């Protein structure tokens, strides 16, 4: 077939380096940018096949998120704007590593019974890395080699590309598949609440998020004052700044002076994560991570649903890394349903789809809110009902605005930031009051290098180890020595290490428990 000849011809320009093995995992493909050209071309081919297979537009985002500037990577986006289906992740790995490209390609076509005369459409976006332009061109080459149509969105955040894909496949029902459409949808719902909002400082991680916040400012009509730092004009992407740095180091971006009491937030390198923070009058640093964000959002939504008299259940989906205090507060004080999912956003997203309204967040600040179709319908119907009282009307309209500001496809730093700012404005709440809702349990995370991390197998959303034999018993007996303690061990999906998590009533206990557990990992 002429298509395969074209693939063969083009693939010579995108040769696979010998001996390199890549893995399409929780974070898509990710490694040093030098080694990725062939993989990008091949993922262009795969996206085209996926588009033919689903008869819908597929997205390809070129980014390595919070990794250093030298790295790059890619994530594929399925028709509703969600991460690519797990069955296809396996194809992605196979294709990226194939020595005989055509055989693997034909194998996928046969297994999935793909009609090669079906039209294909692929949306492509990229972050601000210096390698992103050339790598996204390789993706575009892959799409055209299989006769697919592509649209290059150029520089966009990861969640913006997810949004575009969903808009395109729902024929405008979700919004308009343009950047203007994105900003209008997000801002229209919340801008009216920002009348007395104090300055918010945003750390753009020297990445794409900074560019896009700037682009959005005209839509905010000066109602929300944003001071942008680490905007890419001087510093290096993700270097000593950004959401991952702030969360892991538990301190502000290096070289940045904070004013006590003011509120700050940090994006990661592709703007799908956000964390908030402030310092108190004693100069003590306070982090408001994904758990605090999920608590703020779910509390707000639950209160509104009650005021609106809507019988819709609110759930929060967390991972094992969620601070025990947040889980306790949500279950016992807020009385919302709490679920624990495996690490990795796709698992949280999937678990969240089972509820009317579900807030999902990883502690590191990646998360969003999902509304079921039925829930959206009920909310919209109520908002338009002329026979309801003012309190119900207000609640229904606020819920409707929330649906607009939320990017339901994936965690989105810009959308989350606007929603958080709206909640704080509507409730007249300061960042300190938000922080005081519950106190985090002291905790510690450690990385342990082992011979074979896959020897550790877990169950119960990664909270218990089933192998190697005896390890969980040891962890249990160590946990029993401390008060309010919890600990678990799991192999990382993104690094060649085992992660140990421990929390307890004091920092000393949490540190000691994490240390003891790490010694028990073998």
To the question of whether residue 363 is assigned a binding role by annotation, the answer is yes
Question: CA nearest 66: which of 249, 189, 281?
Answer: 249
Choice between 16 and 366, CB closer to ligand NG1: 366
Q: How far apart are the C-alpha atoms of 251 and 253, rounded to whole Å? A: 7
The answer to whether 157 and 148 are in contact (CB under 8 A) is no
Nearest approach, Cβ of residue 311 and ligand NG1 (Å): 33
By CB under 5 A, residue 65 contacts Zn ion: yes
Choice between 243 and 320, CB closer to Zn ion: 243
To the question of whether residue 17 is assigned a binding role by annotation, the answer is no
Question: CA nearest 444: which of 380, 511, 378?
Answer: 511
Q: Could you tell which of ligand NG1, Zn ion, none binds residue 404, using a CB distance below 5 to 8 A set by kind?
A: none
Nearest approach, Cβ of residue 430 and ligand NG1 (Å): 28
Give start and end residues of each alpha helix (H) in 274-372.
Answer: 290-308, 324-328, 345-352
By CB under 5 A, residue 268 contacts Zn ion: yes
Distance of CA 514 to the CA centre of its chain: 27
Nearest approach, Cβ of residue 407 and ligand NG1 (Å): 17
Choice between 356 and 440, CB closer to ligand NG1: 440
CA separation (Å) from 209 to 62, 270, 271, 452? 14, 6, 5, 37
Q: Count other C-beta atoms under 10 Å from residue 216's C-beta.
A: 20
Binding part of the chain for Zn ion, among 123-131, 186-194, 228-236, 271-279 by CB under 5 A, reads: 271-279
To the question of whether residue 268 is assigned a binding role by annotation, the answer is yes
Q: What residues line the site for ligand NG1 (CB under 6 A)?
A: 26-27, 321, 343-344, 362, 364, 366, 492-495, 499
Q: Using CB under 5 A, pick the residue from 203, 270, 291, 412 that binds Zn ion.
A: 270
List residues with catalytic annotation. 65
Q: How far apart are the C-alpha atoms of 483 and 461, rounded to whole Å? A: 23
CA separation (Å) from 468 to 104, 120, 341, 478, 496? 35, 46, 22, 17, 17
To the question of whether residue 281 is assigned a binding role by annotation, the answer is no
Choice between 82 and 268, CB closer to Zn ion: 268
To the question of whether residue 272 is assigned a binding role by annotation, the answer is yes
Choice between 304 and 489, CB closer to ligand NG1: 489
SS3 61: strand
Beta strands per DSSP E along 206-356: 226-229, 263-267, 274-279, 285-288, 314-318, 337-340
Nearest approach, Cβ of residue 362 and ligand NG1 (Å): 4
Q: Could you tell which of Zn ion, ligand NG1, none binds residue 272, using a CB distance below 5 to 8 A set by kind?
A: Zn ion
Annotated binding site: 65, 268, 270, 272, 362-364, 490-494, 499
Binding-site residues for Mg(2+): 65, 268, 270, 272
User: Applying CB under 5 A, which residues contact Zn ion?
Assistant: 65, 268, 270, 272
């Amino acid at each position: 077939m002429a298509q395969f000849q074209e693939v063969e011809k083009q693939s010579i320009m995108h040769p696979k380096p010998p001996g390199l093995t890549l893995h399409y995992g929780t974070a898509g493909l990710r490694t040093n940018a030098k080694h990725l050209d062939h993989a990008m071309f091949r993922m262009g081919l795969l996206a085209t096949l996926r588009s033919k297979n689903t008869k819908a537009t597929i997205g390809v985002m070129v980014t390595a998120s919070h990794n250093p500037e030298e790295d790059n990577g890619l994530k594929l986006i399925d028709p509703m704007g969600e991460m690519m289906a797990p069955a296809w992740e396996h194809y992605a790995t196979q294709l990226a590593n194939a020595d005989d490209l055509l055989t693997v390609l034909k194998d996928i076509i046969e297994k999935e019974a793909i009609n090669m005369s079906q039209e294909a459409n692929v949306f492509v976006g990229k972050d601000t890395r210096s390698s992103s332009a050339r790598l996204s061109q390789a993706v575009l080459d892959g799409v055209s080699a299989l006769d697919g149509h592509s649209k290059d969105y150029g520089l966009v955040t990861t969640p913006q590309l997810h949004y575009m894909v969903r808009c395109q496949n729902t024929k405008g029902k979700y919004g308009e598949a343009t950047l203007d459409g994105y900003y209008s949808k997000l801002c229209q719902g919340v801008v009216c609440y920002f009348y007395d909002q104090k300055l918010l400082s945003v750390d753009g991680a020297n990445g794409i998020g900074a560019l896009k916040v700037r682009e959005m400012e005209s839509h905010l009509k000066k109602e929300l004052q944003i001071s942008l730092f680490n905007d890419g004009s001087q510093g290096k992407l993700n270097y000593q700044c950004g959401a991952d740095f702030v969360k892991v180091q538990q301190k502000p971006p290096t070289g940045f002076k904070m004013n006590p009491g003011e509120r700050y937030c940090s994006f990661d390198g592709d703007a799908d994560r956000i964390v908030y923070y402030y310092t108190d009058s004693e100069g003590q640093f306070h982090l408001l991570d994904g758990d605090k964000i999920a608590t703020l959002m779910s509390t707000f939504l639950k209160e509104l649903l009650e005021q609106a008299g809507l019988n819709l259940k609110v759930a929060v989906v967390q991972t094992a890394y969620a601070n025990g205090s947040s889980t306790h507060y949500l279950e016992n004080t807020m009385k919302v349903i709490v679920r624990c999912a495996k690490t990795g956003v796709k698992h949280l997203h999937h678990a969240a789809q089972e509820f009317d309204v579900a807030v999902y967040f990883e502690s590191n600040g990646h998360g969003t809110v999902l509304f079921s179709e039925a829930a959206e319908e009920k909310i919209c119907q109520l908002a338009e009902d002329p026979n309801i009282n003012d309190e119900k009307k207000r609640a229904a309209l606020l819920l409707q605005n929330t649906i607009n500001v939320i990017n339901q496809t994936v965690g989105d730093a810009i959308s989350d930031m606007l929603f958080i700012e709206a909640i704080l404005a509507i409730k007249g709440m300061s960042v300190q009051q938000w922080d005081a809702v519950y106190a985090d349990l002291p905790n510690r995370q450690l990385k342990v290098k082992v011979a074979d991390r896959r020897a550790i197998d877990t169950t119960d959303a990664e909270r218990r180890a089933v192998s190697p034999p005896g390890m969980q018993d040891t962890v249990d007996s160590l946990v029993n020595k401390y008060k309010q303690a919890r600990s678990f061990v799991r192999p990382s999906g993104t690094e060649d290490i085992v992660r140990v998590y421990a929390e307890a009533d004091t920092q000393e206990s949490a540190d000691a428990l994490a240390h003891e557990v790490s010694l028990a990992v073998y």
